[in-house]
Structure 1
Amino acid sequence: MNPTPTADVLVVEHAPQEGPYVIGTALEAAGLPVRTCRTWAGDPVPDSLGDAAALVVMGGPASACEVPGRTAELALLRAALEAEVPVLGVCLGAQFLAEAAGGRARPGSGPQIGWGDVRVAPAAHTDPLFADVPGRLRVLHWHGDTMDLPTGATLLASCDRYPVQAFRIGGSAWGLQFHLEVDKAAVDAFAAAFPDEAATAPDLVASAPGHLAALAPHRDAFFEHFAALVTARAARSATRTFFTPRAATWEERFAADGPRYAAAVARMGLRPGRRTLDVGCGSGRALPALRAEVGAEGLVLGVELTPAMLTATAKEGRADLAGLLMADACRLPLAAGAVDGIFSAGLINHMSDPAAALREWARVTALGGVLLLFHPSGRAERAARHGRPLDPDDPLAEENLRPALNAAGWSLDCYEVASRHFLARAVRVR
């Protein structure tokens, strides 16, 4: 899946010489635009991820305990962790990442500067980024701090002096205490910016060509894997960065829509004992009506891509009404013909591949099953709210929706565009 046009990678820099270097090269090669926050030049740390498909936090001359504005950086990293957006923290950025996840950055026993080996941990062999890294790697160290990892973190690389050299938080965030991103320009910039520190490693610059030549294949593969992971998850990341900060107040903002959801569910014609699915269930607003339609003996499932929305569903007391699944709407973890009906509100027109979604929903629906697409606002009302005309390419326009449904195995039997709602009902025919 290609990244959406607005998706970018947010890079936070703390010093002019500590840029992304090879990280930036890999992102550019993957077609991922970079948005840079240069705190060293006075840029404020953003208070949200925006449309970021990933977050990269670089190193700097201070420790995580000393950086001004660290509260803003920790908040940004916590938001990325909650949304499960890919994160890469380097040196100081790794310390911030550990703290954001519940660990602790702290002063070490003294500077570790220059070229030195790290040992790759057994867990690295199955890691998405470290899988091709050899068991021992000579890298550039430039720090005097260390960290205590949070519970559940996976250690990926270590050395005798400072055991925490690389780690993973969950399945999407990586921290590197050493500088894997360096090239010749980076080494020269480090030495020029910190001549006193560089003097403690006399062979730093002279030995760089040989070390970089040995490092380059593994370094480049590592960051190519990161760029590929960001690209593959770009659409998912965009969804999560949008909905995660809104999840806690979503129900409050749209509570008045409840009766319209119930009325729409009633149009599905479900009977007691049937199996139904709400794709993109959000905070679970349709789940009470779906449960009422199929009764206690029926099956109700809610599928949502944003973890924070499933948390909101539980907060609203709706988790007992349905089985909740965190999944991509285009790759449902269900067998063919598993349900008799699908309800989906406000989702299909925001998907990067609506046709693929309709095919997948047909796959999991039994013959004769029903699909109901709904929105509590009409198409014209939504367009006016956003200050734009109706889009002729809108997948919900009847001239677009009907052939897309037919191609996926559905037959459209009801299409309504009212001033205060949109509703389309289709039956699985093949």
Structure 2
Amino acid sequence: MSAVAAPASRPGSFAGAKPLAPISYKAPIGYAAVAALATLLFGILPESGRRTTFSVSTRDDFFQIESFTVPSKATALLLCLAALALSAWTFQAARTRRKVGIWLPAVYAVLLIFALLTWAVAGKDQALPLTSLLQGSLFLAVPLVFGALAGLLSERSGIINIAIEGQLLAGAFLAAVVATITQSAYLGLIAAPIAGALVSALLVAFAIRYVVDQIIVGVVLNVLVVGITSYLFSTVLADNAATLNSPPRLPRIDIPVLSQIPVVGPVLFKQTALVYLMYVVVIVLQVMVFKSRWGLRLRAVGEHPKAADTVGIKVNRTRVWNTILGGAVAGLGGAFFTVANGLAFGKEMTGGKGYIALAAMILGRWSPKGALAAALLFGFADNLQVVLGIIGTPIPSQIMLMTPYVVTIFAVAGLVGRVRAPAAEGVAYVK
């Protein structure tokens, strides 16, 4: 028997060694460019001598933290220079192929956000209420979090869920009707997931049973839900608003003791039941997706369905149930627009939040905690334009409304690192 010669290795290389990935300076250049622009706009060009006041405490806190005033230009310049220093560190990390943790973009974003706030409220007589800003940001992020989690559940199993917008809208509609008829906001909250699950059932029926392109099905379902709810609103709800479209509002629940902790209490523990339910869903899914047998099967079906099938996992059944579960989660997010706010249902009242939720899922890298962080960022941008509009600021409100989309573009472009979807996403599995 003749021996088989091993392939000759290249000079200076080790046999079997994995080749190094090419060095990319795309993210460091992006960090540096944004920080340099912020330094110019917030730290160099503004007038000197102006001051910015921030308020922290609310009247129900255990103890009061006095409002504080800072020199606007010097503070903004210092924060921007710190962001530039982080940008320089990313160049060194890229050169040495060192992995950058999630802490860096988080700290970088906080520095630039405070620089923006310091500049935007400079010279105003009214203080910027930081606690109220954060509290409202969390509340506005609720539908985005539920929508992003819905997309995560379906796309981790391999089904592209463009229909999040329709699931949110259907949940808002049914929650308003049921809550009005029963005069119970909690029953409306229970009904909302049913509507979202029904939309998802249509999605999987066409995507799996008839193997229709999943993106096309999602877009069509969004249009279908908009059409049905708008028709029912015009023909039924508008003429019977008192009996069918006047939902009660979910009461705010203050957690004893915890709700009186300065800053943290009002933000996290003075919320409605829907927000507390969001905490539970995020924690449970974070554990289940990455630490349980169910989560392992879910991810296996989304990454390599053929291999999953060979070990006995029912691929299409897994996709069906997880996509329907995702639709139910999105339906909960739809309840935010009606019973969580005590608002009557209106045509297209979700206002594109489903697409922002889809962006939050991508920015969060198909992870529950990542989706939560991304949704909070978008919620902060939404609430910021409201607060700054009340106080008065040189920033046009249209620019603030663009922020979530701009952040998404940067994220997909790789500014926060490589973003990779599940390998089998959108690929129908036919045995």
Normalised to the residue count of structure 2, the TM-score between the two structures is 0.21
- Larger RCO, structures 1/2 (Cα 8 Å, 6+ apart): 2
Normalised to the residue count of structure 1, the TM-score between the two structures is 0.21
Q: Which structure features the higher share of helix residues?
A: 2
Q: Which structure features the higher share of strand residues?
A: 1
